[in-house]
Amino acid sequence: MPELLKELKDVQSVHGSLVLTNGPIQNTVWAQNIWLNAEIIPFESISQAAKILKSKGKLWAHYSFENHRRTELIQEQLPKLRSRVMNFLGDLPKDPIGAWTLLDKNTLLVSSETNSPFPLGNIEFNEDKKTPPSRAYLKLWELFTVYGVKPSPGQRVVDFGSCPGGWTWVLQQMGCNVVSIDRAPLDEKIAKLPRIQFMKTNAFNVKPEDIGAIDWFFSDIICYPAKLLELVKNWQSSGLCANFVCTIKFQGKTDFETLAEFQRLENARIQHLHHNKHEVTVWIRKSSP
Ligand SMILES: C[S@@+](CC[C@H](N)C(=O)[O-])C[C@H]1O[C@@H](n2cnc3c(N)ncnc32)[C@H](O)[C@@H]1O
């Protein structure tokens, strides 16, 4: 929330985790869900509120920051929202969902369109609780499934800061040939999988020429953002890789300056994914973001 407030211009008011802004829709790094056509509508009774919502759309996700019981009573009168738990690389839900909240007992904030097919932007997966050695794999699952940014089978990829091996596992499962690099060892069962070449070393000492041409650069290294930026620029100028996916991790304070430098990279897109913690994901594609 502090990051979002710093990022947004023309903030009008804040309601729980909802920020209302004036003017056109803003593209943000930090918003989980953007309500695209929000309107404020007064109402008298619960049934009237439900009627208003039904007249504006079919499926609704509710957000409640106060008046919880009243919100629930209204939501109960709307068609039931079925679970939208995703499978990895599954098709995205097609039916749009609106979002609404109560600003006070008699005032609806309603948006029949949002920028996500998931309720309030909450993306859940049918997780694999057995194989991956860490939950970091969910970041790649989200990026690949929801944003469609993904490598193809047979491509050569590098995974920096790969231990214990969640990302390496995802990439290997997708049919990629993975050069997996960390100072710490990979989980044993991941290390045994085919198409993985593990290098136990400091990522910052590895030169692009040591690895050669790759299709994708992945990094989930814990390091200062400026250090990661240097590594990315180094690889970009080598001409040996065109596509990048990295987690920019913040220790303590958010480094807005370096974040802005990442934003200035050509074709870079940065998003705080649902599965990101105090970090954001940047991806840079060869042609378009
Ligand atoms: C968050 S973990 C990565 C998790 C991994 N993506 C997964 O899915 O399991 C960050 C990793 O960065 C590694 N790391 C930190 N500094 C590094 C460096 N200079 N060189 C190589 N690895 C480094 C750490 O050893 C740690 O394993």
Task: Tell me, yes or no, whether 276 and 147 share the same domain.
Answer: yes
What's 251's domain CATH number? Answer: 3.40.50.150
pLDDT, residue 194, reads 98
The residue from 70, 90, 121 where one domain ends is 121
Distance 213 CA to ligand 1 centre (A): 22
Is the CB of residue 177 less than 8 Å from the CB of residue 156?
Answer: yes
Same-domain status, 113 and 21: yes
Cβ of 187 below 6 Å from ligand 1: no
| Same domain, yes or no: 145 and 201 | yes
Mean pLDDT over residues 46-54, rounded? 98
- CB within 8 Å of 82: residues ≥ 6 apart: none
Three-state SS at 240: coil
Q: What is the token pair recorded at 220?
A: 């989930």
Q: Which atom of ligand 1 is nearest to the CA of 168?
A: 8
Question: Does any domain span residue 59?
Answer: yes
Considering the domain boundaries, does residue 289 fall inside one? no
State whether 258 and 155 are in the same domain. yes
| Nearest atom of ligand 1 to the alpha carbon of 169 | 8
- Per-residue pLDDT reduced to its tens digit, 167-178: 999 999 999 999
Same domain, 156 and 264: yes
Number of domains the chain is built from: 2
Please give the residue range of the domain that contains residue 148: 137-284
Cα 79 to Cα 53, 75, 124, 181, 194, distances in angstroms: 10, 8, 21, 49, 48
- Tell me, using a 6 A CB cutoff, whether residue 134 lines ligand 1: yes
Q: What percent of the chain has pLDDT over 90?
A: 97
Nearest CA to ligand 1 atom 23: 161
> If pLDDT is split at 50, 70 and 90, which confidence band does 289 have?
very low
| Cα atoms found within 13 Å of the Cα of residue 127, Cβ hemisphere only | 14
pTM of the model: 0.96
On whether both 90 and 214 belong to a single domain, the answer is: no
- Whether residues 178 and 80 share a domain: the answer is no
193-209 pLDDT per residue, tens: 999 999 999 999 999 99
Residue 286 is predicted with a pLDDT of 82
Task: Verify that 114 and 153 share a domain, yes or no.
Answer: no
With 70 as the cut, is the pLDDT of residue 288 above it? Answer: no
Taking each helix axis as running N to C, give the angle between helix 225-238 and helix 256-263, from 0 to 180 degrees, rounded to the nearest 10: 20
Residues 93 and 198 in one domain: no
Q: What is the pLDDT of residues 54-100, one digit of tens each?
A: 999 999 999 999 999 999 999 999 999 988 999 999 999 999 999 99
The confidence score (pLDDT) of residue 185 equals 97
Give me ligand 1 centre to Cα 116, in Å. Answer: 30
Residue 132 has pLDDT above 70, yes or no: yes
pLDDT at 158: 98
Q: Is residue 131 part of a domain?
A: no
DSSP-derived letter for residue 92 is P
Give the pLDDT confidence score for residue 131 in this predicted structure.
95
Q: Which atom of ligand 1 is nearest to the CA of 184?
A: 25
The conformational region for residue 81 under phi > 0 = left, psi -120 to 50 = alpha, else beta, is beta
Residue 132 Cβ contacting ligand 1 at under 6 Å:
no
Query: Whole-angstrom Cα distance, residue 182 to residue 159?
Result: 9
